[in-house]
Structure 1
Amino acid sequence: MSLSPLRLRLLVASLLTVAFLGALDHTIVATSLATVAGELGALEHMSWVVVGYTLASTVLLPVLGKLGDLVGPRLVFLISVVVFLAASLACGFAQDMTQLVIARIAQGMSSAGIQLMSQTIIAHVTTPRQRPRYMSIIGAAFPIAILVGPVLGGLITDYLGWSWVFWINLPFGVVALALAVFAIPHVETTPRRFDLAGAIAFTLALVALVLGVTWVGDPGSALAAVVAFAFGGIALAAFFLIEVRATEPIVPLGFFANRTVAAGIALSAIIGIGLFSVTAYLPTYFQMAYRTSATVSGFVPIATVFGMLVSNLGTGWLASRTGRYRGYTIFGTSLAAAGLFVMALLPVGTPLWVPMVVMFLVGIGTGSFMSLVIAVVQGAVPRNETGTITATTNLVRQMGSTLGTAVIGGVIGAGVAARLPATLDASSLTPDAVHGAAPVIQGEVAQIYGDVFVPVFAALAITYAVGVIAAILLPPGRLSDEPVTSTTEPVTEPATA
């Protein structure tokens, strides 16, 4: 499906704007969270503002992906934008934490539709050769949101009030919606049955598993976590049984027999497990091990994300120019694996610019295939399954990040608690308390954090090393520059995807 150059530019501008707003809502709320919870008088429920959003955006991915294939991505995208704007308005007017959490859940649901349908629409309006360039532009919304979100959230909260953290979406979202109504074309679809049983089983399984991961680090919620994991396991088993028998499965398991799909989804999972999961802990690591301030500790994750942004745009442009893609995945996984291995070897007290450079290179490696694998996987399935495969690829990345974050948090918490001297309490250990302690204590805590993070970085390096294998197994070839004409055949053959 070809569009005029002007209409394509307007479409990309609309998708990028709304995708950025959806991504921004993951990061902009963080700095205003304490203020919001304090004013609404529910500090103990503060985490649900984030958990509700993340949970809703995760569990709806496969459902919305399938709906996009059944009714067309245009309708799902436009409804998602309208719901997102309405939920943003409701968040700002929330009078208590319950109202805010409900509105955030609606925001998360619609954000999933926005992000997913943005990638699906790009796949429908571009050739496989053009796709990496435009996919990288849409994919840039996430790293940009990470870079500007916390600062923007703090400025808005301080000078305009926390409600405007949510209301800022409205003027930009309305303009993007108007552009989308004009620019997004109708995609031809064929009537097919929706896998309702599979959708219900999958949603129940993911909700239970995500809640279990959320609760597993809280000793008071240990029993709830066990019950959630047990229920999630049963629901997941039921889901697989349903999918094997379903005529139109919500996640077609047969896709995984395709080498391009299997390797691409494995690479997507490695991004979630190998990098997204650890970035949340990097500031704490540098505050404790390198004894930096909170502000300075943010430089390393910023360097990581900036590297990701640069290479994401660069490889998208190069892949569209040459049609080649496999080399970028091998290069990216190898560079990230080497960088994380170096992080495991760095002694505590190394000048801060050294880990900044190393993590910048890790970001370069990850960004080299972050958006590219989505474009490649989309080309390996029939066009009428584009939304489904896009959702599956994003889902494994999201789940990898969620599970990886929980595991790394548990390892760090248990490791630090086991090594701390009896005079220090792990539950009340803060960077300020350590920085105010005697130099001997500071050095001891720094070494403890350094020792605890060594196996974490080493495990993540091994994860990316597995990614090197997946990248090598990705079939070589060139992306086609021919427009897509069939809805039931893969855009490209797996051997030349």
Structure 2
Amino acid sequence: MRLRLLVIALLTVSFLGALDNTVVTTALATVAGQLGALEHMSWIVVGYTLASTVLLPVLGKLGDMIGPRPVFLSSLVVFMLASAACGFANSIWWLIASRVVQGMSSAGLQLMSQTIIAHATTPRQRPKYLAVIGAAFPVAILIGPLLGGLITDYWGWPWVFWVNLPVGLVALALASFAVPRIAGGGRARFDIAGTITLTVGLVALVLLAAAPGQGVMDLWMLALAVLALAAFFVVELRVAEPLVDLRHFANRTIGIGIAISAIVGVGLFSITAYLPTYFQMAYRTSATVSGLVPIATVFGMLVSNLGTGWLASRTGHYRPFPIVGTALGAAGLATMAALPVGLPLWVPMAVMAVVGLGTGAFMSLIVAVVQSAAPAGETGAVTSTVNLVRQIGSTLATAVIGGVIAAGVAALLPVGLNAATLTPQVVHAADPALQERIAQIYRDVFAPVFGFLAVTYLIGVVASVLMPRGRLSDSSDVVPAAESVTA
């Protein structure tokens, strides 16, 4: 009974964190406009992403040291306070600062939810429960934009943030009762040098990816990121208690699992944001209709995530799912690269649904596999590494793909058309011949992007085949919900 309450509490919190980002996206223009700072609108998202990315390894290590429960509950309280502060913001800088704190706490919610499940279940049970918690993300993508629009239109944009408070209070009450008290390792030393060098490197990397096109500043950011991350690797190889234990990568299951996890960010999350634009331009659909393709993709991901989690827990076998999943993703994206424009919209919808099915087959499962291969006292650290690699992959790939699309379209457009001002409305109002030409341009630009992402999934197929065979253990040596034991 308490395990069920624990799962409900963690699912509620995970959904809260996932929904926060998708709901806010819809209200961005309204928020920035009312605060008189449209030019700084992107920093509302960048600040959140930056903070959540940088804090992942720190919070993972902290969870292993003092136990995941205090990190989780503290993150939830801070998240609610930051949400309240966002709603009361009367300037863009107040809002951005509050979003940074929100992002920091959101990292703790996401990471500790997975870590707590690892401690409270057997390896065999883990895929099923992680799949349930992981379902929060695709569901948030499906309903977040609509919910954000409704809240903004009828209640006002502050409620986009304040709606977190009643849900958060319910989750806090459930979590306070259901989350087990798991003793940490009690290590006195914290890897300060590793934390500083990794933080500097990640900040430079995320800023470079989130706001490219700054000329000399981009070169400085790239140089800083390379130097800081190189210093980080040197530090981690020398300290007694590293922030990210690089020795984990010597374990083939962990190393391959982390590599496969990156494919979720690089191969799918990176392209999803650009799909509506592609279909509005290449298939000449409305904004509303173009959103059906990402919905089909996410729905496929949701179904597959839950299905494979249940099957893996039932059978104990995990290796076939990433093999089949990455193969489906590669086939779907290769098909997208070959599709001509002018087909009925249901065709690319079905193809992208297959990509979603493939991705969902290993999205949450691979976290459970990596956790099961790691020492119990380092569950938080290894879980944070999985999430960190996925998030960095998504951030960098999204920036690169955006740059490729922008440059490709600008280079191929007929003389007299400006890519910066070319909106779907302008294209739909143009003569049929120009519409056809622009549709073909977008198809020609996106085809190699889909092809590159298909190759990414093919690499995942190879990695999945190389993953060691095995079955998830049904050992009872786990932390029962609401009991205190040594991790």
Where on the TM-score scale, by shorter chain, does this alignment land: which range? over 0.9
1:158 maps to 153
Greater than 4 Å deviation, 4+ residue runs = none
Larger relative contact order (Cα-Cα within 8 Å, sequence gap ≥ 6): 2
2:208 maps to 212
Structure 1 unaligned spans of 5+: 1-5, 487-497
1:31 maps to 26
Mapping for residues 187-266 of structure 1, pairs under 5 Å: 187-192=182-187, 193-216=189-212, 218=213, 221-266=214-259
Displacement after TM superposition at 1:190 (Å): 2.5
Structure 2 unaligned spans of 5+: 480-487
- Taking the aligned partners of 1:74 and 1:441, their CA distance within structure 2 comes to 59
1:105 maps to 100
2:182 alignment partner AA: V
SS at match of 1:277: helix
What per-residue deviation string (whole Å, max 9, x for no partner) do you get for residues 352-375 of structure 1? 000000000100000000000000
SS at match of 2:461: helix
1:206 alignment partner AA: L
- Taking the aligned partners of 1:23 and 1:483, their CA distance within structure 2 comes to 31
2:169 maps to 174
Q: Do residues 143 (structure 1) and 138 (structure 2) align?
A: yes
1:117 maps to 112
Partner residue of 2:79 out of 84, 98, 120: 84
1:325 maps to 318
- Taking the aligned partners of 2:329 and 2:57, their CA distance within structure 1 comes to 29
What per-residue deviation string (whole Å, max 9, x for no partner) do you get for residues 194-253 of structure 1? 11110111011000111111222x3xx222211111111111111011101010101100
Q: Residue 416 of structure 1 contacts residue 448 of structure 1 at CA under 8 Å; is this kept in 2? A: yes
2:419 maps to 426
- Taking the aligned partners of 1:190 and 1:308, their CA distance within structure 2 comes to 36
1:402 maps to 395
- Taking the aligned partners of 1:240 and 1:407, their CA distance within structure 2 comes to 25
Q: Do residues 284 (structure 1) and 281 (structure 2) align?
A: no
SS at match of 2:373: coil
Displacement after TM superposition at 1:188 (Å): 2.0
Q: Do residues 334 (structure 1) and 327 (structure 2) align?
A: yes
SS at match of 2:220: helix
Q: Residue 27 of structure 1 contacts residue 149 of structure 1 at CA under 8 Å; is this kept in 2? A: yes
- Taking the aligned partners of 1:342 and 1:101, their CA distance within structure 2 comes to 40
1:13 maps to 8
SS at match of 1:176: helix
- Taking the aligned partners of 1:485 and 1:276, their CA distance within structure 2 comes to 33
**TM-score, scaled relative to structure 2:** 0.97
Q: Residue 244 of structure 2 contacts residue 381 of structure 2 at CA under 8 Å; is this kept in 1? A: yes
- Taking the aligned partners of 1:235 and 1:415, their CA distance within structure 2 comes to 32
SS at match of 1:317: helix
1:306 maps to 299
Q: Do residues 61 (structure 1) and 63 (structure 2) align?
A: no
What per-residue deviation string (whole Å, max 9, x for no partner) do you get for residues 320-349 of structure 1? 000001001100000110010000110011
Q: Residue 215 of structure 1 contacts residue 224 of structure 1 at CA under 8 Å; is this kept in 2? A: no
1:347 maps to 340
Please provide the CA RMSD for this pair. 0.9
Partner residue of 2:36 out of 9, 30, 41: 41
What per-residue deviation string (whole Å, max 9, x for no partner) do you get for residues 47-94 of structure 1? 000000000000100000000000000000000000000000000000
SS at match of 2:272: coil
Partner residue of 2:477 out of 459, 478, 484: 484
- Taking the aligned partners of 1:387 and 1:485, their CA distance within structure 2 comes to 15
2:259 alignment partner AA: A
User: How many residues were matched structurally?
Assistant: 478
1:287 alignment partner AA: Q
Displacement after TM superposition at 1:185 (Å): 1.1
In structure 2, relative to structure 1, the CA distance for the partners of 1:424 and 1:485 (3 Å cut) is closer
Q: Do residues 444 (structure 1) and 437 (structure 2) align?
A: yes
1:116 alignment partner AA: L
- Taking the aligned partners of 1:114 and 1:354, their CA distance within structure 2 comes to 38
What per-residue deviation string (whole Å, max 9, x for no partner) do you get for residues 404-449 of structure 1? 1011111101110110011211111110011111111111100000
SS at match of 2:363: coil
Q: Do residues 267 (structure 1) and 260 (structure 2) align?
A: yes
- Taking the aligned partners of 1:14 and 1:161, their CA distance within structure 2 comes to 28
2:78 alignment partner AA: V
Q: Do residues 455 (structure 1) and 451 (structure 2) align?
A: no
1:374 maps to 367
**TM-score, scaled relative to structure 1:** 0.95
What per-residue deviation string (whole Å, max 9, x for no partner) do you get for residues 305-331 of structure 1? 000000000000000000001001100
SS at match of 2:475: coil
2:381 alignment partner AA: T
2:190 alignment partner AA: F
Displacement after TM superposition at 1:485 (Å): 5.8
SS at match of 2:182: coil
- Taking the aligned partners of 1:485 and 1:145, their CA distance within structure 2 comes to 31
What per-residue deviation string (whole Å, max 9, x for no partner) do you get for residues 129-161 of structure 1? 000000000100100000000000000000000
SS at match of 1:227: helix
1:190 alignment partner AA: G
